[in-house]
Amino acid sequence: MRKPAFLFATTAVAWGAGFFAWSLLGTAYSNGDPLAHAGDPVQVALVALPLLVAALAWWSLHRTCSSGAPRWPATSITVTWLAFSLVSAASVGLLLAPAALLLVAALISVRQKGQTQMS
């Protein structure tokens, strides 16, 4: 695997997209209602946040790999997401924790431009 950070970060974005789709289309409550109602723009924006945050972390990691930008933006996004997942673990945080862990794996495996791979 040549670019594991890319694969981990892309999978985190896919997880965010899956959460967004499930929140609007899936059954979250026993009466059959979804987590958010598609007709309410505030609810749609709130359930889109995980997808947007994962995409922002992906973009930050891409900049780190391609141009040697610092890792701290992606690190701060990931730590914040991980903290949110832990605090809200009894609710929606448990569904978002895998994406946070994927971003942690991406951060661990990311290499800045010009950095050589150790064998």
> For 4-14, what is each residue's pLDDT tens digit?
999 999 999 99
pLDDT bracket for residue 119 (50, 70, 90)? very low
| pLDDT tens digits for range 70-96 | 999 999 999 999 999 999 999 899 999
Percent of the chain with pLDDT over 70: 92
d(CA 35, CA 48): 12
Q: How far, in Å, CA of 31 to CA of 48, rounded?
A: 23
Q: What is the Cα–Cα distance from 66 to 83, expressed in whole angstroms?
A: 28
The better pLDDT of the pair 116, 30 is held by 30
* Site of tokens 């661990």: 108
pLDDT band at 118 (very low <50, low <70, confident <90, very high): very low
- Residue 115's pLDDT band, with cuts at 50, 70 and 90, is low
102: left (phi over 0), alpha (psi -120 to 50) or beta: alpha
